[in-house]
Amino acid sequence: MSLPASHFEALYAGDPDPWAFRTRWYERRKRSLLLACLPRPRFARGFEPACANGELSIELAQRCDQLLCSDPSATAVGLARQRLASCDHARVRQGGLPQDWPAGRFDLVVLGELGYYLAPPAWRLACERAAASLERGGALVACHWRHPIQGCEMAGDDVHALLAEAMGAPARVRHLEPDFRLELWFDDSAGAAP
């Protein structure tokens, strides 16, 4: 079963940064690794679902001509909008996966710390939509916690296995640590080198 938006609203009720994205070295380091593995300095159109309070979003906005972010939590959407207020090219909307996957195509999709909150069939559908929305020459990066999470059916390795199936190929970049898995799928058929 996928966790409902009310689960995340409850987390934000007690703390605007419930995962300590702003303060924990672990989170800052992981964010830096994700950004460093991106194969290009700029992207035309990026999508970050489950953007939470916008800590990664603000850094993605510096690398994208247009950035769309979403989150199922209304509170998270408000916090991310505040964080991105100075970025006219970034939009934040409320929505969950897989049902609210946006129309259009992207040359950057960032799937961070969200797959395990969905039931496996819902995550599989989200992965298929992500793969189908990727522009030729685009990049998809995913990063997930590798340990079991209470109330979730999958851990990060399971999440990435379903993503690899949807992408139809192994990741081009893989960074494994005991706590998290970071992988990048990149289509270099357009001639760009990863």
Residue at 192 is within a domain: no
Higher pLDDT, 143 or 9: 143
- Using pLDDT thresholds of 50, 70 and 90, give the confidence band for residue 194: very low
CATH number at residue 16: 3.40.50.150
Residue at 171 is within a domain: yes
pLDDT of residue 95: 95
Residue 74 domain boundaries:
5-186
Mean pLDDT, rounded, for 114-138: 96
Mean pLDDT, rounded, for 95-122: 95
Distance CA(144)–CA(34), nearest Å, equals 11
Whether 193 shows a pLDDT value over 50: the answer reads: no
Count of domains observed in the chain = 1
Residue at 62 is within a domain: yes
Tell me the residue type at 32. Answer: S
Instruction: Give the pTM.
Output: 0.91
**What digits encode the pLDDT tens for the residues 5-43?**
776 667 668 777 766 678 888 889 999 999 999 999 999
Residue at 68 is within a domain: yes
Residue at 78 is within a domain: yes
Residue at 191 is within a domain: no
pLDDT of residue 188: 72
pLDDT of residue 21: 73
Distance CA(157)–CA(163), nearest Å, equals 10
**What digits encode the pLDDT tens for the residues 42-99?**
999 999 999 999 999 999 999 999 999 999 999 999 999 999 999 999 999 999 999 9
